Amino acid sequence: MTRFSCLLLSSVLGALPATAQVKLTSSQEKIPVVIDGKPFGTFFIGGPGVNRPYLHPMRSASGKVVTRSNPIGQIPGESTDHPHQVGLFFGHGDVNGYNYWATLQATGPRQGRVVLKRLVSVNSAKETGTIDAIFDWLDPAGKPIITEARKMIFYSDPKLRTVDVDIDLTAVEKVSFNDTKEGTFAMRLATVLEEPHSAVIDHPEAAQTVKRTGKMTNAQGAEGEEKVWGKRSEWVDYCGVIEGEKVGVAVMDHPSSTRFPTYWHARSYGLLSANPFGVRDFLNDKTKDGTLVLQAGEHAHFRYRVVIHSGDTASAGIASLYKKFAAMK
């Protein structure tokens, strides 16, 4: 090869885009996400049994799986309660009387479904990968009552796994997000990350053979389910030990979100859920009503960040990370 050919080849190679560090592979049913050459998770958008989109499993930068495998997989000793709580998802238990929360068996007079209408774009890049999609919230008869525009951004980082989720809901007809604790932007964490408890009182079938190591902390410094559940806060972080490594998952609510700061349906059995609607349940006050009514054409907007980190809440600097997120336009 001549010197000129070598220079030409070098010039061409230098002009090519760098290999994407956040790689998303699109299909009709799922979108696998690979960050810095390592699998992160899969965004399920369709196919048999997918009655609501969800991201599962989710991993730390070191590869630790932080979401419960059940019901897709089953780790020995893992809890099996609430089978509809799969990975990271968005839904609510009472919208016009229909259930978009417990959608595993999406049949019956109250069961709604959230289905893909259009995959707008799926983009891989060096620092971020993005998914833009449109979903329809269908009533049991299959009629759309809400249109959801969702954007998800996945970030490349050597120490963190960060996902931004921006959700804009448009009412097709008058819709009422009724007051219930069963909602809304949620994760079901790995059993080992649950807070220690002798039994899940209202769900005694949950297995107790795996050592629970978790502890939840909110932005006000409150710790544990008793002080975090049903309280308003900008963020909640849930930390524990997975295979000898201290790992945590923080969910953050952006100031632009409807009804910021959200209430939290955060439970010792590993549910980490931001719910701005369940006021009556959270305050245990029947005179309160957290219902949100949207007339046809009106919007509700929600913006969240999920950060999977090593270390505990303090050492991971969750408060500082939240300030950066909150300052974003």
Cα separation of 239 and 136, whole Å?
A: 34
Residue 265 has a pLDDT of 98
Query: What are 53-103's pLDDT values in tens digits?
Result: 999 999 999 999 999 987 777 777 787 778 788 899 999 999 999 999 987
130: closest CA among 50, 35, 250, 28?
35
pLDDT at 266 over 90: yes
Give the three-state DSSP class for 79: coil
What is the CATH number that goes with domain 18-326? 2.70.98
Tell me the CB-side half-sphere exposure of residue 162, using CA atoms within 13 A.
18
Backbone angles phi, psi at 278, to 5 degrees: -85, 45
Judged by average pLDDT, the poorest of 87-91, 196-200, 289-293 is 196-200
Tell me the CB-side half-sphere exposure of residue 181, using CA atoms within 13 A.
15
pLDDT at 12 over 60: no
For the chain, the domains span 18-326
pTM of the predicted model, to two decimals? 0.90
Whole-number percent of the chain with pLDDT over 90: 78
Mean pLDDT of 133-161: 97
Residue 10 has a pLDDT of 39
- How many angstroms separate the Cα of 3 from the Cα of each of 7, 10, 169? 6, 11, 59
Cα separation of 118 and 237, whole Å?
A: 33
